[in-house]
């Protein structure tokens, strides 16, 4: 029996009715291009085979009832009461979806919903975007909203920016919608032009291993928004010289403006400028199946995130340092916003067990949390289907 069928029976037992739609959306890894999305630069994410799934049935009133397997909780709210409640963050994301749709003028009623999945939360794999996208796909079908995929991306980002208060870019939502199995996605965050690039990992006996540092972070309460303010301050500072975008800067041009920026803003800018360049080089590496070059770029990205953007932590620096020395590791870096969460490792498949065993030993010696590991496949984007 399929897992979805089992969840349908649980849905029926809890709500005494059958679901009308089923949707699912993936988490993601960002191969390279960190903190460049909200700076209108380049990113290279990939969807993974870990997903958030959603079953829903329409209601005729204004009540929303939601059950989540992750927390073993049922919550209820009215469409007339869409206030942020700090004591239940997962529910705030659900409320935020209805809030942005009402703001857009979409005609909505209540619903009964059932959430489950296997994306680790607060691990830097974008469980929040997968939740937003899966529910938006379901509501779009459930109420015939006729939203395009790009509108869904924009609405999901608005949940984070305008309702939750996290000033994130739209990379996570974009790859959750548009990802394809065995492909990375190059995205220009200024123009929203994108193209899929084959990732022939299996043909080269390689895999992507996710390393969960065990350090949890709450982005809206972290320094994430501070980094965004600092990068905006760079552009504000440089605008008097005719520079309105990081994309107008080269490393040499940035060096000439160092004195005017000061050390902190210079280092923030240097990360963004060089990270955009690394994304472009990574695209070329994937085109040529040059995974050794890809790995070198991952190591370079981590050093920049650690030293210039200062979003790493000792647990993720351990991954970088160990990866440099481990035979069979082509590259490693933190992925996601940082401040904890996860890193990724480009690794020979036959070396997975040895890598996990040895770095776990090192983490224990240093008194770090016991890390978690997920060998992920590159998966498909969001999908929805009728259940009636």
pTM above 0.85, yes or no: yes
pLDDT score at 122: 72
> Residues 184-212: pLDDT tens digits?
999 999 999 999 999 999 999 999 999 99
Q: How confident is the model at residue 77 (pLDDT cuts 50, 70, 90)?
A: very high
323 versus 87: which is more confidently predicted?
323
Distance, in Å, from the CA atom of 149 to the CA atom of 179, rounded to the nearest integer, reads 12
Q: Which active-site residues does the annotation give?
A: 172
Query: Residue 385 in contact with residue 225, Cβ under 8 Å?
Result: no
pLDDT (average), residues 210-233: 82
At 219, the pLDDT band (50, 70, 90 cuts) reads low
Could you tell me which residues are beta bridge partners of residue 24?
53, 383
The C-alpha atoms of residue 107 and residue 215 are separated, in whole angstroms, by 41
Q: Which CATH code is given to the segment(s) 3-196+379-386?
A: 3.30.230.10
Residue 2 has pLDDT above 60, yes or no: no
Instruction: Please give the angle made by the CA atoms of 151, 155 and 198, to the nearest 5 degrees.
Output: 60
pLDDT digits (tens, 9 = 90+) for 35-64: 999 999 999 999 999 999 999 999 999 999
Over residues 214-225, the mean pLDDT reads 70
**Each residue of 89-139: pLDDT tens digit?**
899 999 999 999 999 999 999 999 999 999 987 777 889 999 999 999 999
At 170, list the tokens.
């739209």
DSSP bridge partners of 196: 185
Work out the end-to-end distance of the chain between its first and last CA atoms, rounded to an integer number of angstroms: 19
State the chain's mean pLDDT as an integer.
94
Task: At 136, list the tokens.
Answer: 């938006």
Residue spans of the domains in the chain: they are 3-196+379-386, 200-376
Which whole number is the average pLDDT over 364-375? 96
For domain 200-376, give the CATH superfamily: GHMP kinase, C-terminal domain (3.30.70.890)
Map tokens 């999908």 to a residue: 383
């Amino acid at each position: 029996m399929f897992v979805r069928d089992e969840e349908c029976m649980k849905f029926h037992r809890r709500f005494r009715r059958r679901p009308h739609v089923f949707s699912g959306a993936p988490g993601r890894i960002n191969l390279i291009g960190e903190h460049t999305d909200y700076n209108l630069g380049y990113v290279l994410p990939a969807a993974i085979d870990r997903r958030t799934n959603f079953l829903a049935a329409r209601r005729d009133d204004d009540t929303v009832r939601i059950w989540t397997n992750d927390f073993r909780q049922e919550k209820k709210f009215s469409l007339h009461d869409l206030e942020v409640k700090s004591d239940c963050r997962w529910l705030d994301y659900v409320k935020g979806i209805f809030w942005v749709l009402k703001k857009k003028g979409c005609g909505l009623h209540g619903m009964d919903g059932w959430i489950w999945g296997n994306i680790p939360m607060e691990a830097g794999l974008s469980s929040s975007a997968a939740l937003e996208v899966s529910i938006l796909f379901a509501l779009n079908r459930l109420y015939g909203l006729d939203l395009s995929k790009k509108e869904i991306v924009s609405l999901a980002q608005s949940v984070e920016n305008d309702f939750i208060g996290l000033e994130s870019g739209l990379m996570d939502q974009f790859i959750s919608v548009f990802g394809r199995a065995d492909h990375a996605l190059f995205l220009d965050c200024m123009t929203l032009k994108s193209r899929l690039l084959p990732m022939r990992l299996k043909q080269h006996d390689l895999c992507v291993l996710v390393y969960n540092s065990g350090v949890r972070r709450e982005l809206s309460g972290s320094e994430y928004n501070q980094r965004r303010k600092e990068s905006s301050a760079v552009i504000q500072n440089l605008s008097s010289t005719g520079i309105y975008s990081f994309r107008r800067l080269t490393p040499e041009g940035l060096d000439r403006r160092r004195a005017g920026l000061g050390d902190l803003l210079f280092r923030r800018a240097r990360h963004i400028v060089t990270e955009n360049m690394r994304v472009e080089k990574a695209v070329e590496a994937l085109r040529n199946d040059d995974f050794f070059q890809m790995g070198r770029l991952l190591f370079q990205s981590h050093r920049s995130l650690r030293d210039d953007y200062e979003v790493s932590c000792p647990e993720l620096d351990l991954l970088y340092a160990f990866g440099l020395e481990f035979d069979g590791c082509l590259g490693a870096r933190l992925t996601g916003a940082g401040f904890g969460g996860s890193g990724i490792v480009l690794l020979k498949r036959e070396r997975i067990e040895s890598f996990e065993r040895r770095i776990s030993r090192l983490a224990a010696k240093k008194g770090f949390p016991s890390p978690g590991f997920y060998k992920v496949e590159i998966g498909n984007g969001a999908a929805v289907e009728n259940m009636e």
